[in-house]
Amino acid sequence: MTAFWTFAVVVVTLAASMCTALLAPMRQRRLKVDGQYFRRVKVRYLYFLFGSMGTKQEGRDVRSYGVILPMFVLHIIGYILTVGIWAAVPVLYRYGVDLEYLWAVPLAVDLVYTLTLTVTEAVCVRVSARRAAADGK
């Protein structure tokens, strides 16, 4: 039975860490936010880790166009949480957390991050729509 729980912890840890690392860049490609209403951060180094709104065919490259600040912060938080999940699971196991409960740690971190990302996206879409309506677009 220990082999099953070890396998479950490893699979959930990998899935949750990949979800926290890739969720913000992938979702932002489909995000319907007008970037002119937000401060943008241009990413010069490690630009491949960040997704901008739209696709490169639309001219939305993070090196020239940038990433809106709320999503940039969520990108950074996602990468920090990914490394944190990778570090926390072995440490928690070493300090005696039972394997039957250890799988819940990365899953809980991923769930909180996903909810935060969803709320932030909804706020950004709403703010963008209101500002566009106020400008008459």
- 35-80 pLDDT per residue, tens: 778 888 888 888 777 776 654 445 567 777 788 888 889 889 999 9
- Residue 56, CB-side half-sphere exposure with 13 Å CA sphere: 7
- More confident call, 21 vs 112: 112
Residues 89, 85: Cα–Cα separation, whole Å: 6
pTM score: 0.82
User: For residue 75, how far is the Cα from the chain centroid?
Assistant: 5
CB burial string 103-118: b at 16+ within 10 A, e below: bebbeebbeebbeebe
* Assigned token pair, 76: 């950074």
